[in-house]
A and B are shown apart, each in its own frame.
Chain A
Amino acid sequence: MTSTTIADDTRVLHHPKTWVGKYVWSQDHKVIALQYSVTAVAIGLVALVLSDLMRLQLGFPGALKFITPSAYLQFVTMHGMIMVIYLLTALLLGGFGNYLIPLMIGARDMVFPFVNMLSYWVYLLAVLVLVASFFAPGGPTGAGWTLYPPQSILEGTPGRHWGIILMLASLAIFVVAFTMGGLNYVTTVLQARTRGMTLMRMPCSVWGIFVAAILGLLAFPALFVAAVMMMLDHVVGTSFFMPSLVSMGQQTKFNGGSPLLFQHLFWFFGHPEVYIVALPAFGIVSDLISTHARKNIFGYRMMVWAIVVIGVLSLFVWAHHMYVSGMNPYFGFFFASSTLVIAVPTAIKVYNWLLTLWRGDIHLRAPMLFAIGFIFTFIHGGLTGLFLGNVSVDVPLSDTFFVVGHFHMVMGVSPILVIFGAIYHWYPKITGRMWHAGLAHIHFWITFLGVYAIYLPMHYLGFLGVPRRYYALGQTAFIPHSAQVANEFITVAALIVGAAQLVFFYNMIWSYFKGPKADSNPWGATTLEWQTPQTPPAHGNWGPKLPVVYRWAYDYSVPGAPQDFIPQNVPPDGVARHHAT
């Protein structure tokens, strides 16, 4: 009755013989992880190009003739939606979740390998439907990534005919794919841990992904319901969200709907989504810092509890995205309070990362550089979050570039830096080759300094009152000329940072073929994925016997130990431990 993958038995795993069975219709979590990652990065590159096009319009208005006002709005919308959902969510959970969970908890695979495979193919379908909207008559929707009705489906909004339908369909399909994946990740963590791997011996990465997956399962239904209802409003003419209104001089057929209901549903998904992206990043960065500083993570239990508490709290803050929607002041007070309370567990995490670094044996390799870079950008984005979490400060800053600067720092740049760090960290395990350290350093420094060049001036623009999502400012009395100069500077920086990513891709592809062979555990890490018998891990991960876990994931620099790390599957030698705790 129990799942076959947790039993110490390889016979029941399917063993495909053909190339197609191994790499296309694969049920191996590692192959599915790579399929997810490659698809997510590919669609993410589209979003990167869109952002550079937007920047070209803002920096040099009218210089590129094909960027019309409609096209600009479509770029804004697609950039946002792709980055948040189809890149970050898919890469962190579908990519890293799939690769790391079974390997880190000592399982042979996910508990439902077939559903796992299905999850990827349904995700691919969602991406293809989204991409199709670029080629549909009228192009993709230009309603902004929040897709607020009534404007998103009314005449005058770009992509009103086909773009919005394809977008809503794609989102609904994505939710189905995510649900299949999410159920798998959660059940695998609950059911398939190897002997000795108690919950509190799991590495922080698994904890982050685990709680994020639960959060996704609770939050994505809201997006699904919102997408289906808006689709009905648009296609068959119901009035869930659409109020009675006159559009282009014509009385519409809608009556009595409430756009605010959509906003509630959207943000009931939208805010936890921030943490669906952030929690895996929190977990992964903890492991990067601990491994490359050769120190146990400071306050492991606090780190785990903080992840859980942040996950729970994030379900109670959604309306802080709606302060300007005309809400009851008491309502705003509640949501401002719950928002600011999240700062407590988050600050615990930040302090613990810093205290892990404190007097550590820090190796400034690329993964560590990106992890430290993350601490900078995350503190920065978190502090501006305190501004926006307060109703009275948020109202004047709402819909300005300050908001754009804030959320790009906190949930754009920060998770992306962790993703880069994580790719550099696990690349030797995934491919069996080592990347070029010099190129990785160049990539880090251009990216890290570049994102500050891009997003720091945006806060200044926001204070000037420059609104977001505007195609061009024209002659606006209260906006000085310096705003345009800042915009030009940001654009140049964005183009440089965008181009610098080519260094990363070159490094990854070149190293895959020509890089030096990597050791099975080049960083001296303790977690189980580095202890596999083969590198890259073979199908079934562990050879004939599953590993047995005897200790937590952070036995670094243990006094008296022969090496500065003790893998989780090394049995105790009977010598009593002398920890200060």
Chain B
Amino acid sequence: MGIVRRLTEKPWLAPGLDPSIDPDPDGLRTLPAAAVGLRLYFGVATIMFMLIAVVMVMRMDGHGLSTDQQPDWKPMFWPPLLWVNTGVLMLSSAAWEWARAAGRRGQMESLRAGLVAGGALAVAFLAGQLTVWRQLEDAGCGLTATTMSAFFYLITALHGLHLLGGLTVWGRTTLKVLAGGEAAEVEQSVDLCAIYWHFLLLVWLVMFSLLLLNRR
């Protein structure tokens, strides 16, 4: 409703909206700029992963041409470790949520614990993903072995890079907290990191299910 009202305003009718009476007509401005920027970035990343998913589905349906005129989509070795990794990422996300809630209540101890756990679990997830890559190579399912493995590597690499970007912010925030910073100082960083982690978890779950369902 608000946006429709704003876009149908007749701006030529001065004085119209008087800044002295209505200083902040825009509800969005209650959010800090970084939070808005991050949400916009979610849009960008969603489009990117969605396009990869769409291309994968089209490619899977034998959209291209292969030597034997058969769709070349072959099943890929599915390392069980992937289930563990997914669980670890979920725990990481949960730890961030815990840190965030602790920060709101001003409990420094819990915030510190949640922060360290969230980051450490994310690092563990990345290590797990690298191990999966190694296992795939060993099973003869490397990057170029099948189209599905090519998509698997592409998706995990892009997802991992996003997580790595999040970890740099985590590093800065953790240093600040360990150096004795107050909860208020890091509240925004923790808040945004938590949302970012949930977003990456969601992306991973969607991509994971898509790959899982199409193992054939």
Distance from A396 Cβ to chain B, minimum over Cβ atoms (Å): 27
Task: Verify B154–A550 contact, CB threshold 8 A.
Answer: no
Closest chain B residue to A1 by CB distance? Answer: B32
Could you say which residues of chain B place their CB within 8 Å of the CB of A221?
Answer: 44-45, 47-48, 51
B14 located at the interface, meaning its Cβ lies under 8 Å from any Cβ of chain A in the complex: yes
Task: Verify A198–B154 contact, CB threshold 8 A.
Answer: no
A305 located at the interface, meaning its Cβ lies under 8 Å from any Cβ of chain B in the complex: yes
Could you say which residues of chain B place their CB within 8 Å of the CB of A196?
Answer: 17-19
Task: Verify B41–A579 contact, CB threshold 8 A.
Answer: no
Which of A54-62, A228-236, A445-453, A513-521 lies at the interface? A228-236
Task: Verify B71–A256 contact, CB threshold 8 A.
Answer: yes
Could you say which residues of chain B place their CB within 8 Å of the CB of A3?
Answer: 32-34
Within the assembled complex, what's the spacing in Å between the Cα atoms of A209 and B55? 30
Q: Which of B23, B43, B44 has the most CB of A within 10 A?
A: B44
B209 located at the interface, meaning its Cβ lies under 8 Å from any Cβ of chain A in the complex: no
Could you say which residues of chain A place their CB within 8 Å of the CB of B178?
Answer: none
Task: Verify B63–A222 contact, CB threshold 8 A.
Answer: no
| Residues 111-153 of chain B, each 1 if its beta carbon lies under 8 Å from chain A, else 0 | 0000000000000000000000000000000011001001000
Which of A183-191, A353-361, A474-482 lies at the interface? A183-191
| Residues 269-282 of chain A, each 1 if its beta carbon lies under 8 Å from chain B, else 0 | 00000000000000
Distance from A190 Cβ to chain B, minimum over Cβ atoms (Å): 5
Could you say which residues of chain B place their CB within 8 Å of the CB of A554?
Answer: 12
B216 located at the interface, meaning its Cβ lies under 8 Å from any Cβ of chain A in the complex: no
Task: Verify B12–A186 contact, CB threshold 8 A.
Answer: no
| Residues 47-73 of chain B, each 1 if its beta carbon lies under 8 Å from chain A, else 0 | 110011001001100111111000111
B179 located at the interface, meaning its Cβ lies under 8 Å from any Cβ of chain A in the complex: no
Number of interface residues of A (CB under 8 A): 67
Within the assembled complex, what's the spacing in Å between the Cα atoms of A137 and B135? 37
Within the assembled complex, what's the spacing in Å between the Cα atoms of A260 and B143? 22
B180 located at the interface, meaning its Cβ lies under 8 Å from any Cβ of chain A in the complex: no
B80 located at the interface, meaning its Cβ lies under 8 Å from any Cβ of chain A in the complex: no
Distance from B147 Cβ to chain A, minimum over Cβ atoms (Å): 6
Which of B3-11, B101-109, B166-174, B193-201 lies at the interface? B3-11
Distance from A503 Cβ to chain B, minimum over Cβ atoms (Å): 39
Closest chain B residue to A194 by CB distance? Answer: B19
Within the assembled complex, what's the spacing in Å between the Cα atoms of A296 and B13? 13
Could you say which residues of chain A place their CB within 8 Å of the CB of B32?
Answer: 1-3
Within the assembled complex, what's the spacing in Å between the Cα atoms of A300 and B28? 24
Task: Verify A265–B51 contact, CB threshold 8 A.
Answer: yes
Closest chain A residue to B144 by CB distance? Answer: A237
| Residues 244-280 of chain A, each 1 if its beta carbon lies under 8 Å from chain B, else 0 | 1100000000011111110011001000000000000
Task: Verify B33–A198 contact, CB threshold 8 A.
Answer: no
Q: Given A236-B144, A243-B66, A256-B64, A577–B14 Cβ distance below 8 Å?
A: yes
A192 located at the interface, meaning its Cβ lies under 8 Å from any Cβ of chain B in the complex: yes
Contact partner, B55, options A183, A195, A265, A581, Cβ 8 Å? A265
Could you say which residues of chain A place their CB within 8 Å of the CB of B34?
Answer: 3, 112
Task: Verify A300–B11 contact, CB threshold 8 A.
Answer: yes
Task: Verify B6–A199 contact, CB threshold 8 A.
Answer: yes
Could you say which residues of chain A place their CB within 8 Å of the CB of B62?
Answer: 256
Distance from B150 Cβ to chain A, minimum over Cβ atoms (Å): 4
A572 located at the interface, meaning its Cβ lies under 8 Å from any Cβ of chain B in the complex: yes
B87 located at the interface, meaning its Cβ lies under 8 Å from any Cβ of chain A in the complex: no
Could you say which residues of chain A place their CB within 8 Å of the CB of B6?
Answer: 198-200
Task: Verify A198–B12 contact, CB threshold 8 A.
Answer: no
Distance from B195 Cβ to chain A, minimum over Cβ atoms (Å): 15
B36 located at the interface, meaning its Cβ lies under 8 Å from any Cβ of chain A in the complex: yes
Contact partner, A243, options B23, B47, B65, Cβ 8 Å? B65
Task: Verify B29–A238 contact, CB threshold 8 A.
Answer: no
Contact partner, B12, options A239, A258, A259, A579, Cβ 8 Å? A579
A366 located at the interface, meaning its Cβ lies under 8 Å from any Cβ of chain B in the complex: no
Q: Given A224-B48, A304-B7, A261–B59 Cβ distance below 8 Å?
A: yes
A100 located at the interface, meaning its Cβ lies under 8 Å from any Cβ of chain B in the complex: no
Could you say which residues of chain A place their CB within 8 Å of the CB of B59?
Answer: 240, 256-258, 261
A193 located at the interface, meaning its Cβ lies under 8 Å from any Cβ of chain B in the complex: yes
Task: Verify B43–A218 contact, CB threshold 8 A.
Answer: yes
Task: Verify A550–B43 contact, CB threshold 8 A.
Answer: no
A111 located at the interface, meaning its Cβ lies under 8 Å from any Cβ of chain B in the complex: yes
Contact partner, A190, options B36, B47, B72, Cβ 8 Å? B36
CB under 8 Å from chain A, chain B span 157-185: 158
Task: Verify A555–B52 contact, CB threshold 8 A.
Answer: no
Task: Verify B19–A548 contact, CB threshold 8 A.
Answer: yes
Within the assembled complex, what's the spacing in Å between the Cα atoms of A547 and B58? 53
Q: Given A195-B19, A550-B19, A572-B15, A256–B143 Cβ distance below 8 Å?
A: no
| Residues 309-323 of chain A, each 1 if its beta carbon lies under 8 Å from chain B, else 0 | 000000000000000
Task: Verify B37–A258 contact, CB threshold 8 A.
Answer: no
B25 located at the interface, meaning its Cβ lies under 8 Å from any Cβ of chain A in the complex: yes
A24 located at the interface, meaning its Cβ lies under 8 Å from any Cβ of chain B in the complex: no
Could you say which residues of chain B place their CB within 8 Å of the CB of A291?
Answer: none
Task: Verify A187–B55 contact, CB threshold 8 A.
Answer: no
Task: Verify B65–A191 contact, CB threshold 8 A.
Answer: no
Task: Verify B44–A240 contact, CB threshold 8 A.
Answer: no
Task: Verify A243–B11 contact, CB threshold 8 A.
Answer: no
Contact partner, A572, options B14, B51, B154, Cβ 8 Å? B14
Q: Given A190-B28, A268-B51, A111–B154 Cβ distance below 8 Å?
A: no
Distance from A262 Cβ to chain B, minimum over Cβ atoms (Å): 9
Task: Verify B40–A261 contact, CB threshold 8 A.
Answer: no
| Residues 203-230 of chain A, each 1 if its beta carbon lies under 8 Å from chain B, else 0 | 0000000000000011011101100110
Contact partner, B40, options A217, A239, A245, Cβ 8 Å? A217
Task: Verify B11–A201 contact, CB threshold 8 A.
Answer: yes
Could you say which residues of chain A place their CB within 8 Å of the CB of B19?
Answer: 195-196, 548-550
Could you say which residues of chain B place their CB within 8 Å of the CB of A240?
Answer: 55, 59, 147, 150
Task: Verify A238–B64 contact, CB threshold 8 A.
Answer: no
Distance from B33 Cβ to chain A, minimum over Cβ atoms (Å): 4
Within the assembled complex, what's the spacing in Å between the Cα atoms of A188 and B40? 12
A14 located at the interface, meaning its Cβ lies under 8 Å from any Cβ of chain B in the complex: no
The interface of chain B, by Cβ under 8 A from chain A, is: 6-19, 23-26, 28-29, 31-34, 36-37, 40-41, 43-45, 47-48, 51-52, 55, 58-59, 62-67, 71-73, 143-144, 147, 150, 154, 158, 188
Q: List 24 A-B contacts (CB under 8 A).
A: A3-B33, A179-B41, A186-B40, A187-B37, A190-B28, A191-B28, A191-B31, A193-B26, A198-B9, A198-B11, A217-B43, A221-B45, A222-B51, A243-B65, A256-B64, A256-B65, A258-B58, A258-B64, A261-B64, A265-B51, A550-B18, A552-B11, A555-B12, A581-B13
- Would you list the 3 A-B pairs with minimal beta carbon distance, nearest first? A256-B72, A196-B19, A258-B64
- Since A199-B6, A240-B147, A261-B58 are in contact, a sample of 19 more A-B pairs with Cβ atoms closer than 8 Å, ordered by chain A residue number, is A1-B188, A111-B37, A195-B19, A198-B9, A199-B7, A200-B6, A220-B44, A221-B45, A225-B48, A239-B64, A243-B64, A243-B65, A243-B66, A244-B65, A265-B55, A300-B11, A549-B19, A552-B11, A581-B10
The interface of chain A, by Cβ under 8 A from chain B, is: 1-3, 6, 111-112, 179, 183-184, 186-188, 190-193, 195-196, 198-201, 217-218, 220-222, 224-225, 228-229, 232, 236-240, 243-245, 255-261, 264-265, 268, 296, 300-301, 304-305, 548-552, 554-555, 571-572, 577, 579, 581
